[in-house]
Amino acid sequence: MEIEQTTIQLEPRRRGFHLITREIVAQIPSLSVFDTGLLHLFIRHTSAGLTINENADPDVRTDFSTIFDRLVPDGAADYVHTIEGPDDMSAHVKSSLVGSSVTIPVRHGQPALGRWQGVYLCEYRNRGGSREIVATVIGTRK
């Protein structure tokens, strides 16, 4: 069993749900040498999240934004933590709902995602800036 770890830098993105599967795989060159194992992705931020979901229909991304903004609106009158703007506290709550990590099986040097699955960066801030993900691969080499 071997372990490889790398830090992935993501370019700043607008608020929304962004498929990042290809970008993640491209920034983990050592992934291709693993036959079987696990890929763990952890985002190092409290106002963004990671999830796995539908990767084909872009309407899914639009619907995610609509639902999350309805569930946890920006600038609610009863928020106390408001120093960083109206999208700050709502971003923290949304991040906790989705979570900060995903774990994916690795098979033959690739994430063993389902046919219609992709990894999403869930950006909850209007100007979240660049994001950093720690990627850890644990497994057996080819």
Residue 106's alpha-carbon distances to 31, 59, 100, 135, 141, in angstroms, are 8, 28, 20, 13, 11
Mean pLDDT calculated for residue range 62-71: 97
Query: What fold does the segment set 2-141 form as a domain?
Result: Jelly Rolls (2.60.120)
What are the residue boundaries of the structural domains of the chain, listed by start? 2-141
pLDDT score of 52 = 98
pTM: 0.96
pLDDT band at 67 (very low <50, low <70, confident <90, very high): very high
Q: What is the DSSP letter of 43?
A: E
How does pLDDT run across 5-56, given as a tens digit for each residue?
Answer: 999 999 999 999 999 999 999 999 999 999 999 999 999 999 999 999 999 9
**Residue 72 to residue 89: CA distance in whole angstroms:** 9
Cα(21)–Cα(121) distance, rounded to whole angstroms? Answer: 9
- Determine what percent of the chain is predicted with pLDDT higher than 90: 99
